[in-house]
Amino acid sequence: MSSSEVHYERRGAAAVLTIDRPARRNAIDAAAASGLRQGLEAFEADEGARVLVLTGAGGEAFCAGADLKAIDLDVDDPAGPLGISRLTPSKPTIAAVDGWCLAGGLELALWCDLRIATPQSVFGCFERRWGVPLVDGGTQRLPRVVGMGRALELILTGRAVEAEEAERIGLVNEVTAPGAHIERSLELAERLAAFPQETMLSDRRAALEGAGLPLVEGLELEHRLGREVLHVAARGAARFAAGEGRGGEGV
């Protein structure tokens, strides 16, 4: 799958989905939103692709949000105005961020499970300055990532957050060397792909779906999903008993 604005490429166990509108700082118009949706569908259908890496082309911006000059996004799209923001992928996702990650671009990064960024990256709810609401999951995902107090500060003030602070507050999982964001994301993708998939995906689902549940219900969900993959655990335990993984090997 490839379009003039969004490209899908397999690289090892990862699928790399690239927003390619550098002249607009990779801001999303209707065509790009459609490309993102097609890219997600291709990833879900690609059994060999175990991790999705989402990034932006050009080296200046991951994504500057909705293209406010186009103003052609569908706010009522069940998949979200940016094409994917109201959907939950069944497999892990990583945002490889280099440069500006603003407004809807921040919401796309939050849509991912993990965020890897370069030192020059800058995050922020800059739509606050123009009276544009967060409608691609930011009000729901940001508190889950950094906590309600910090999330409200960023949402209300719209201030810029540089990479070092973003890592400190948990908005970013890792800051890489300049230009190394995609390489590091692919390394991480291969590491995730090497684990037994059934239990990893089950644990991921329990964490995501249990986030908004009362503790008792969350524990019930974890129990139900865990029981469904106990056969994988039995095989893993047998491998450990046979001598694999001693001293943290393979972790």
* Angle, in degrees to the nearest 10, between helices 138-146 and 148-157: 130
| 167: annotated active-site residue | no
Q: Are 55 and 182 in contact (CB under 8 A)?
A: yes
60 part of the active site: no
* Active-site annotation holder among 127, 167, 228, 249: 127
What Rg do the C-alpha atoms of the chain give, in angstroms? Answer: 19
Three-point CA angle 160, 165, 166, nearest 5°: 75
Exposure string for 43-56, b = 16+ CB within 10 A, e = fewer: beeeeebbbbbbbb
- Distance of alpha carbon 101 from alpha carbon 62, whole angstroms: 5
Please give the Cα distance from 123 to 100 (Å, whole number): 6
Q: Among residues 107, 198, 220, 222, which one is catalytic?
A: 107
Residues with active-site annotation: 107, 127
